[in-house]
Amino acid sequence: MNMVDMILKKKEGKALSPEEIRFFARGAADGSVPDYQLAALLMAICWQGMTAEETACLTMEMMHSGSVVDLSAIDGVCVDKHSTGGVGDTTTLVLVPLAAACGAKVAKLSGRGLGHTGGTLDKLESIPGCSISVSQADFIRQVQEIGCAVIGQTQDLCPADKALYALRDVTGTVGSIPLIASSIVSKKLASGAGAIVLDVKTGSGALMQTVEESIELAKAMVEIGAQAGKPILALVTGMDQPLGTHVGNALEVKEAIDILSGRAKGDLLTVSLELGSRMLVACGVAKDVEDGKARMTQALESGAGLKKLREMIEAQGGDGRVCEELAYLPHAAYKISVPALASGYVAKMDTTAIGYCAQGLGAGRREKTDVIDPAVGLVMDVRLGDYIAEGDSLATLYLNKPELAKDAVAKMQQAITITKQQIELPPLIYAAVSQDGVTR
């Protein structure tokens, strides 16, 4: 195989053969193909795209470039959920224990936050003692015994994707639908789940900021699942404002506990029930989405979901008392309100900017080696469409470095647009995508 020929072929818009895709994926995994050639091919793919067959082939080659988790020892169909990333997107900590309380087996490998989006692993590690590094044997045992586990990905999972993603991040080729779809689905397939539910975000805080692009990405991933023989379905959900009201690791754990204890509701709960009900259908626990929602709601109202979260935390070495007493979570030393500069209606939010504001307080990483402060972040005091008077609080900042407050306040004021006119609220659920098509 000749990489230059493959680069020229894709540059001309031609489809790569399965053998060519296998060659460059394996070369990415073992380092035998130089980065500059991989980067050139990625740019050609970014410009010319890939066919559905090419995308599925790339997915499978990346999946098999490393180890594949075997979950066959777990009774029933293991189900997983993946989000394309957002701000205040704490659905995993709400829906995983609820789904497990309903009888589902949820074996979830999650990631860390980078950029403006938060990572589930960082949220879990804000709970004192909670470990996300669990052996495969213990992972399987935990899912079998209590119905759920959320841990970090192993180092040898999809090494080709790790190499290609690192290059995409520094070569401006992140926003390619075939590359995004194959990256996400390869990791999900390698994680061993028998059914997968995807949450594809759209809006100002999402990777894909238009609904049509988000639906296109969802369709690409569902199609890969069909070709791989794995049932994948997706919801396209809104990210024009933080999904939850809390942004930051311990703060998001707090919000998840507030929801599971019945003290809070809102968009985060709504999306969690939509996704979780489809997980129950996918693994055979519920007969349809409405049945799934009813089961999830019962687990919420009975307290079974909160009990299951405590079981999962304790199984992973964490202090389960946080589920009853939030004082055991890390707390920031300072709280600062962000005053509105004018009276009017909250008309727009730059959700990405809000995520970066939380990152700047220490809740996220600019580089993978950065150390996160689990206590810091922000809590939104307004939602889109709310009326607010000048001087009232748009958000509350939680920080341990008071010198960061002035800049953060200014960024939050700039990220939230206030107008004199009321707005029409954007949808929360835009579409459902399955092998049967798109339902809006």
Confidence of residue 101 (pLDDT cuts 50, 70, 90): very high
Active-site choice (122, 161, 199, 350):
161
Whether 84 and 236 have beta carbons less than 8 Å apart is answered as no
Q: What is the pLDDT of residues 182-205, one digit of tens each?
A: 999 999 999 898 999 999 999 999
pLDDT of residue 115: 63
The amino acid at residue 262 is G
Active-site choice (187, 188, 254, 295):
187
Q: What is the pLDDT of residues 352-396, one digit of tens each?
A: 999 999 999 999 877 767 789 999 999 999 999 999 999 999 999
pLDDT of residue 11: 97
Active-site choice (64, 82, 219, 310):
82
Q: What is the pLDDT of residues 253-268, one digit of tens each?
A: 999 999 999 999 999 9
This prediction's pTM:
0.93
DSSP track, 269-301: HHHHHHHHHHHHHHTTSSSSHHHHHHHHHHHHH
pLDDT of residue 153: 74
pLDDT of residue 287: 97
pLDDT of residue 397: 98
pLDDT of residue 110: 82
Domain 78-325+429-439 indexed as CATH 3.40.1030.10: yes
Radius of gyration of the chain (CA): 22
Q: What is the pLDDT of residues 206-240, one digit of tens each?
A: 888 899 999 999 999 999 999 888 899 999 999 99
Q: What is the pLDDT of residues 323-355, one digit of tens each?
A: 999 999 999 999 999 999 999 999 999 999 999
Active-site choice (83, 126, 183, 191):
183
Q: What is the pLDDT of residues 19-34, one digit of tens each?
A: 999 999 999 999 999 9
pLDDT of residue 135: 87
Portions of the chain given CATH number 3.40.1030.10: 78-325+429-439
Is 26 a residue of the active site?
A: no
What token pair was written down for 171? 């070569």
CA dihedral 329, 114, 158, 29 (to 10 degrees): -140
**What is the rounded distance in angstroms from the CA atom of residue 235 to the CA atom of residue 417?**
28
What token pair was written down for 23? 């060659």
pLDDT of residue 17: 97
Superfamily assignment of 332-419 in CATH?
A: Pyrimidine nucleoside phosphorylase-like, C-terminal domain (3.90.1170.30)
Portions of the chain given CATH number 1.20.970.10: 3-63
Is 214 a residue of the active site?
A: no
Buried b / exposed e over 282-306, threshold 16 CB at 10 Å, is bbebbeeeeebbbbbbebbeeebbb
pLDDT of residue 252: 97
Q: Is the pLDDT of residue 114 over 80?
A: no
pLDDT of residue 170: 82
Q: What is the pLDDT of residues 283-325, one digit of tens each?
A: 999 999 999 999 999 999 999 999 999 999 999 999 999 999 9
Portions of the chain given CATH number 3.90.1170.30: 332-419
Please give the distance of CA 289 from its chain centroid, rounded to a whole number: 21
pLDDT of residue 368: 66
Q: Is the pLDDT of residue 165 over 90?
A: no
Is 187 a residue of the active site?
A: yes
pLDDT of residue 152: 85
Superfamily assignment of 3-63 in CATH?
A: Transferase, Pyrimidine Nucleoside Phosphorylase; Chain C (1.20.970.10)
Active-site choice (9, 10, 162, 168):
168
The amino acid at residue 267 is D
**Average pLDDT score, the chain:** 94
